[in-house]
Amino acid sequence: MISSYRRVFAHRGTRLMWSTGIVARLPLSMMTLGIVLLVSALHGSYALAGQISAAYVIGNAAAALPHGRLADRFGQARVLSVDAVVFGFTTGLLVVSVSRGWPSPAPHALAVVAGAALPQVGAMVRARWSALVDDPVKLHTAYAAESVADEVVFVVGPALVTFLSTLAFPELGLLVTMAVGSLGPLALAAQRGTQPPVAARGHRRDVARMPWGRLVPLAVVATCMGGMFGAMEVATVAFAEDAGRKAASGAILAVLSVGSLLAGVVAGGRVWRLSLPRRLRGGVGLLTVGFVGVPLVTGLWMLGAAMFATGMAIAPTLIALFSLVQEHTPGGRLTEAMGLISTGISAGLAPGTYFAGVVADAHGGANAFWVCTVAAALALAATWACGDAPGDDRTPATVTA
């Protein structure tokens, strides 16, 4: 298993690219939770926190696909540089607007712009891997490494933003997120050696069409999973506060990500016989089963154990999801296609955070986890639209993930 990762990271510049990508995408796991912690601390309303978080992720969802298209056309360095500056500026204003009680819709509007400016680091790094690695088995491992990176982000980010927001003053968490979200993408933009080539202007008309028939069902699955992720954050914070230990919410979310990280490492080091659609369906099915049990737990320790077990299905599911996108997308439009999946996840985060906030205010944090259950069940239903394509059942040597 370790040798598989060594072969992938033998490519020049990939270690720095991977580590920088982790830092640059930390805001992905810090922004929405930081908003929830800040707004709930200063204004005492999870519903308002959910609204502003939803505004942020709506902006992110709306801009993800155009970001990918621009990166494919003009190069990642330009897009990352502009995004980093705009994100830092608007996030700073968002913190000021919440802290000083600016009337609506000022905080909501700033959250939309900050979300739209968040660099699509995960999609861009995966596109870089696709340009650097041409062997399907190595690409499988590279995508697994990216899923591991995602989980590192979701282990460190929630715990970090929760600690900072409860350490001295509630604004500190988002201020640190602002700094990381600006400096990280600028560092990645400077690494032009791993950047995918930009098509010459004269050849842009020859770029292959997007396989929308394949990609749209995958985006629907991503949207439902995004709803699950968004609801999970709000429900965990509310559950921990109901138990009198609000600061423990970050640690619980980190525990879930540890389970996902471990499963992702194992998944990336082996070759699979199951087709990608079947792996996607199985992973979402396990998530659905897990979130049937989570709302029934009592106590923080039981919640942590249930979240760890459920989290073990996340990374393998995302590996299969992104691998299906890569398999069906022409190389010249891969960043755009990856952005479509990011759009789906972000689009799901908005209603997930909102509905979980409403349920948490009315019925408590434990019941808010039922929003996760519904979202996972909808994702499972959507996987049946991603039916097994001809040729998906392959020999182990050629299966990608």
Q: Which residue is listed with tokens 């033998």?
A: 10
Report CA-CA distances (Å) from 131 to 107, 142, 400: 39, 11, 15
With cut-offs at 50, 70 and 90, classify the pLDDT of residue 400: very low
Residue recorded with tokens 């799901």: 348
pLDDT over threshold 70, residue 205: no
Which pLDDT belongs to residue 372?
A: 94
Pick from 141, 135, 87, 124: nearest CA to 198: 124
Rounded to whole angstroms, how far apart are CA atoms 380 and 176?
Answer: 36
pLDDT surpasses 70 at 398: no
Mean pLDDT of the chain: 83
Q: What interhelical angle do 300-311 and 248-268 show, nearest 10?
A: 20
Question: Helix 276-293 to helix 300-311 angle, to the nearest 10 degrees?
Answer: 170
- Chain-centroid distance, C-alpha 254: 14
Mean pLDDT of the region 78-92: 93
Does residue 399 register a pLDDT over 50? no
Work out the average pLDDT over 135-158: 80
**Taking the CB of residue 167, how many other CB atoms lie within 10 A of it?**
11
CA neighbor of 180 nearest in space, from 169, 192, 188: 188
Residue bearing the bigger pLDDT, 96 or 275: 96
Kindly state the tokens that stand for 285: 């099915």
Does the pLDDT value for residue 237 go beyond 60? yes
Q: What band does 272 get if pLDDT is binned at 50, 70 and 90?
A: low
Q: What share of residues in the chain are helix, strand, coil (percent, to 5)?
A: 80, 0, 20
Share of the chain above pLDDT 90, in %: 27
- According to the model, what pLDDT value does residue 196 have? 83
Nearest to 31 by CA among 11, 8, 13, 58: 58
Q: How far is 269 from 145, CA to CA, in rounded Å?
A: 9
At residue 45 the predicted structure's pLDDT band, cuts being 50, 70 and 90, is confident
Identify the CATH homologous superfamily for domain 12-197+209-398.
MFS general substrate transporter like domains (1.20.1250.20)
The set of residues, in sequence order, having a beta carbon less than 8 Å from that of 65 and lying 6+ positions away, is 336, 339, 340, 343
Of 73-87, 158-172, 220-234, 261-275, the one with minimum mean pLDDT is: 261-275
pLDDT at 242 over 60: yes
Q: Which residue has the higher pLDDT, 307 or 269?
A: 307
Q: Rounded to an integer, what distance in angstroms lies between the CA atom of residue 185 and that of residue 178?
A: 11
Mean pLDDT over 134-140 rounds to 78
pLDDT score of 170 more than 70: yes
Q: Which of 120-129, 165-174, 200-209, 271-280 has the lowest mean pLDDT?
A: 200-209
pLDDT-derived band at 244, boundaries 50, 70, 90: confident
Query: For residues 375 and 357, what is the distance between their CA atoms, to the nearest angstrom?
Result: 15
Residue 168: what pLDDT?
79
The runs of H, that is alpha helices, within 75-211 are 76-99, 106-117, 121-132, 136-167, 172-189
Label residue 144 by pLDDT band (50, 70, 90).
confident
Q: 166 CB contacts (<8 Å, ≥6 apart)?
A: 37, 246, 247
The DSSP H or E segment spanning 374 is helix 365-383
- Reported confidence tier of residue 292, pLDDT bands at 50, 70, 90: very high
pLDDT at residue 69 is higher than 60 = yes
- Residue at token pair 């299905």: 313
User: Quick one: DSSP state of residue 192?
Assistant: G
Mean pLDDT across 308-332? 83
Structure token pair of residue 256: 């879930």
Q: What are 339's two structure tokens?
A: 């952005």
| CB-CB contact of 197 with 335 (8 Å) | no
pLDDT in tens, 184-203: 999 999 998 888 877 655 44
